[in-house]
Amino acid sequence: MSSIDTPLVEVRNLTKHFGSVIALNGISMVVKPREVLCLLGDNGAGKSTLINTLAGVHRPTSGDFIVGGKSTTFYSPRDALDAGIATVYQDLAMIPLMSITRNFFMGREPMVGFGPFKRMDMKFADEVTRDEMHKIGIDIRDPQQAVGTLSGGERQCVAIARAVYFGAKVLILDEPTSALGVAQTSMVLKYVNQVRNSGLGVIFITHNVRHAFAVGNRFTVLNRGKTLGTYEKGAISIDELQNLMAGGKELQALSDELGGTI
Amino acid sequence: MSIVADDKIKKTPADERLKKASVATTLLRRPELGAVAGLVLVTVFFLLTANPSMFTLAGIMNFMAPAAQLGILAVGASLLMIGGEYDLSIGSMVAFAGLVFGAALVVWQVPLSVAILIAILMAVVIGVMNSQIVIKTGLPSFIVTLAFLFILRGLTLVGLKWASGGATQLRGMKEAAAGSPLTSIFSGDAFQGLFAWLASNDLIAKFPNGTPQVSGIPVEILWFIVIALLATWVLLRTRFGNWIFAVGGDERAARKSGVPVVRVKTVLFIITALCATLVAVLTVLDAGSTDARRGFQKEFEAIIAAVIGGCLLTGGYGSAIGAFLGSIVFGMVLIGLTYTSIDQDWYLVFLGGMLLVAVMFNNVIRKRVTGER
Ligand SMILES: Nc1ncnc2c1ncn2[C@@H]1O[C@H](COP(=O)(O)OP(=O)(O)O)[C@@H](O)[C@H]1O
Ligand SMILES: [Mg+2]
C-alpha cells in the first residue's frame, strides 16, 4: 500500500502559539522513508517547538499533521511513540536519579510472568541496554548505575540508543551532537546513516551545517517560526546553506572579516 | 575518558573501569540504609536503658501495634513522595473515613462488607479530588492537601455531631460488626491457634492457667507487613513502580518518554487515601468507636517516617521498606520510653531531631547516587 514515496510524516502550515508568543508560524515539511531530513535554523527559530509538536508534547494551534497518509492528532508523547515516532529531545528527557536501564525502558518496560506475578524483565532490560549502548560505542560499567553519574556525552548516547531501539518508523534527533566529542559525533552520524539505510525516516536537527551535509538528503531551513525553504542535497552548497540559516548577508560579511573561518 | 570509540571490541563482560564495587558502596546505594541505621541505634538504646520486658514477645507486639497504624500510612505516603507529591490530608482522612465507616455501620446499619465498600469508594473520591486539583491547577500538592487537612477534619466534626446527635464521638461499631466473616480480617489477633500451640509446648510465655500471654498477632501488624511488601514489589519490580520513580524524578521527562503522568499521580493519591481508610477501619473496629481526634497529626508522622526511610523531599527516590522500618523506629520510641525512666514528652524532641538528621543524611546519599558534585 505505502509506496516508497508515501511520506512517513507530513506537516502543512503548522502553527503553534504559546500565549502571545508565536513560536511556529506556518511550517510545512515532509519526511519520507529512507531519507534524512535536516532541520536547520538559528536559536529560537522554532526547531525544538516543531519537533515537540511532532512528538506529541505540544498540540499544534493549527495546521495539518499527516502520519502514514492519514490526518492525525497526538494527544501525548505516548501516542507518537505508539505510531513509531521516537525522539531524542534536546533536554534528553532522562531522569538522573534512575538507573540507565530504568531510563532506557521508561514508559516501554519489558515484562515477564503472568497475572499478579507479571514483573519487569530486569535481566533482559539490562542486557538490551548494555548491547545497545555498546553498538553506539559506549561500554557502560553497570546498567544499574544512576544516569546522574554519567557524563553529558554518555547521557546523550543513552538517549540516542533508546530512541533508535524504539523508533520503528521515524527517528527525530534534536541537536544530538551538541554535547559530544569528535569520536562520538562521528559515531552518531554513522548511526544516523545506518538507521536511514535500514528504511527509517530521520529528522536531524543541528546547528552545524557540516554535520547536516554529512548525512542529510534534504535540508529544511527555519527562520522565526517559518520555513524559508527546502533544498535537495545537490541543489545547494554548504556556504549557501550557512548563509540562509543565518538569515542573510551579515554572516558572509562577518566571515570575511574573520578571515573566512566560520 | 569514558568514551570508547572502538567498535571492534565485541563483548566486554567485565569492564576494567568498573572498580569492584565495595560492599559499602553497594549498601550506600540503598535508600533504606538510614532507616536500618536508625533502627539499630534505637534498638541498642532501649536494650541499654529500657526494662528488658520491652523485648519480650508481648513488649514487641506493644510497640509494633502503633508502628503498624502509622506504618500503613507511611508506606502510602512514601509511594506518593517518590512520585513527587505530598498528602497532608491523610491524618484528617483517617478521622473522616472513620466517621463514614462508623456511620454506615451504626446509623445506616449496613453490613460490615458494605460499610467497608462505602469507605473505600469515599477514599477513591477524595483521592481523585486531591489529585485532580493538584494536576489541573498545577499548585503544589502541599497546599492543596493542607486545605483538605482542614476541610476533612471540619467535616468529621460536623458529621460526628450529626451522626451521634450532638456528641463528638460515635460508638457501637464493635457490636454492629460482630458476626461478619470480615470481622476477623480487620480486627482481633491472628494465628491464635498457633500461639496456643506454642504456649502449650512452652515455646512462648504463658499465664499460669496455660493460655499464652500473647494470644496472637494483631491483624494490623499483618496488614502493615503485607502492605509494605506489596508496595516494595510494586516499586521495584513492576511497570507502575518504574513510572512512580519517573514521575517523581522529572515529570516532564517522564511524560516525554510516554509515561502516563496524570494516571500515575491519580492512582498514588487514591492509594494514600485508601491507606488512611484502612487505618480508620482497623482502629475503629479495635476501639469500637470513633472520634474527631482520630489520626491527628498522623500526616506529619507518616511523612517523617517516609523521610527516615530514605524518601527525598524532592521526589524520585525512596523506599517502601524504608518507610516500614522508619515506622518501627517511631513505635519503638513512643512505647519504649514508657519502659524507661525517661519523661515521655521527649518523644516530640526525638521526632524533630530524627527528621533533621534523616533529611541531612538523605541529601548526602542523593549526591552520592547522582554523582552530583
Ligand atoms: N513553552 C514555551 N512557552 C513560551 N514560549 C516558548 C515555549 N517554548 C518555546 N518558546 C519560544 O518559541 C521560540 C522557539 O523556541 P525553540 O523551538 O526552542 O527554538 P530552537 O529550538 O530553534 O532554538 C522561542 O522564542 C521560545 O522562546
Ligand atoms: Mg532547540
Q: Which residue of B has its CA nearest to A136?
A: B7
Atom number, ligand 1, closest to the C-alpha of residue A175: 21
Q: What is the pLDDT of residue A250?
A: 58
Helices B320-336 + B219-237 axis angle, to 10: 150
Q: What residue ranges in chain A does DSSP mark as E strands?
A: 9-18, 21-31, 35-41, 62-67, 70-71, 85-88, 111-112, 119-120, 170-174, 201-206, 218-223, 226-232
User: Which numeric CATH code is attached to A9-97+167-257?
Assistant: 3.40.50.300
Q: Which residues 6+ apart lie within 8 Å of A88 measured at CB?
A: A156, A159, A160, A162, A163, A171, A172, A173, A174, A176
DSSP character for B135? H
Q: Mean pLDDT for chain A?
A: 88
pLDDT tens track for A230-261: 999 888 888 888 888 776 555 556 666 666 55
Residue A199: how many other CB atoms lie within 10 Å: 10
Residue ranges of the domains in chain B? Answer: 34-370
Residue B347: how many other CB atoms lie within 10 Å: 16
Whether A18 lines ligand 1, by a CB cut-off of 6 Å, is yes
Whether A43 lines ligand 1, by a CB cut-off of 6 Å, is yes
A248 compared with A73, residue with greater pLDDT: A73
- CA–CA separation, B355 and B369 (whole Å): 21
Chain CA centroid to CA A119, Å? 31
Mean pLDDT to the nearest integer, B296-304: 94
Q: What type of residue is B131? A: S
Tally of residues, chain B: 373
B146-170 burial code (b ≥16 CB/10 A, e <16): bebbebbbebbbebbeebbeeeeeb
pLDDT band at B363 (very low <50, low <70, confident <90, very high): confident
Mean pLDDT to the nearest integer, B40-62: 94
Q: Is the pLDDT of residue B267 over 90?
A: yes
Distance from CA of A76 to the nearest CA of B (A): 7
- CA–CA separation, B363 and B369 (whole Å): 10
- CA–CA separation, A211 and A36 (whole Å): 12
Q: Is the pLDDT of residue A52 over 90?
A: yes
Cα A17 to ligand 1 centroid, rounded to whole Å: 10
Q: Is the pLDDT of residue B2 over 50?
A: no
Q: Is the pLDDT of residue B252 over 60?
A: yes
Best mean pLDDT range from B25-34, B80-89, B290-299: B80-89
- CB distance A83 to A105 below 8 Å: no
- CB distance B97 to B111 below 8 Å: no
State whether residue A98 sits within 8 Å of chain B by CB: yes
Q: Which residues 6+ apart lie within 8 Å of B316 measured at CB?
A: A95, A97, A98, B82, B84, B245, B246, B248, B249, B250
Q: What is the pLDDT of residue A1?
A: 45
* Proportion of chain A above pLDDT 70, given as a percent: 92
C-alpha to C-alpha distances, A197 to A165, A191, A219, B70, B319, nearest whole angstrom = 15, 10, 18, 59, 45
* Proportion of chain B above pLDDT 90, given as a percent: 70
Whether A20 lines ligand 1, by a CB cut-off of 6 Å, is no
- CA–CA separation, B182 and B179 (whole Å): 8
What is the spatial order of strands in the sheet that A21-31 belongs to?
Answer: A21-31, A9-18, A62-67, A70-71
Residue ranges of the domains in chain A? Answer: 9-97+167-257
Q: What is the pLDDT of residue B206?
A: 86
pTM of the model: 0.91
Architecture of domain B34-370: Orthogonal Bundle (1.10)
Please tell me the least confidently modeled range out of A139-153, B82-96, B301-315.
A139-153
- CB distance A227 to A26 below 8 Å: yes
Contact residues, chain A, for B243 at CB < 8 Å: 106-107
Atom number, ligand 1, closest to the C-alpha of residue A44: 19
Give ∠ CA A164-A165-A171 in degrees, rounded to 5.
30
Q: Dihedrals φ, ψ of A9, to 5°?
A: -140, 135
Atom number, ligand 1, closest to the C-alpha of residue A174: 21
Q: What is the pLDDT of residue B180?
A: 87
Give me the helices (H) in B85-111, please. Answer: 90-106
3-state SS class at A19: coil
**What residues pack around ion ligand 2 (CB closer than 5 A)?**
A 48, 90
- CA–CA separation, B87 and B127 (whole Å): 10
Distance from CA of A191 to the nearest CA of B (A): 12
Q: Which residues pair with A173 in a beta bridge?
A: A88, A204
Q: Is the pLDDT of residue B10 over 50?
A: no
Q: What is the pLDDT of residue B367?
A: 80
pLDDT tens track for B237-249: 999 999 999 999 9
Distance from CA of A131 to the nearest CA of B (A): 9
Residue A72: how many other CB atoms lie within 10 Å: 15
Q: Is the pLDDT of residue B312 over 60?
A: yes
DSSP character for B55? G
- CB distance B41 to B320 below 8 Å: no
Q: Which residues 6+ apart lie within 8 Å of B161 measured at CB?
A: B167, B168
Give ∠ CA B83-A146-B260 in degrees, rounded to 5.
35
Long-range contacts of A16-21 (CB under 8 A, 24+ apart): A16/A46, A16/A49, A16/A50, A16/A53, A16/A58, A16/A60, A16/A61, A17/A61
Q: Is the pLDDT of residue A72 over 60?
A: yes
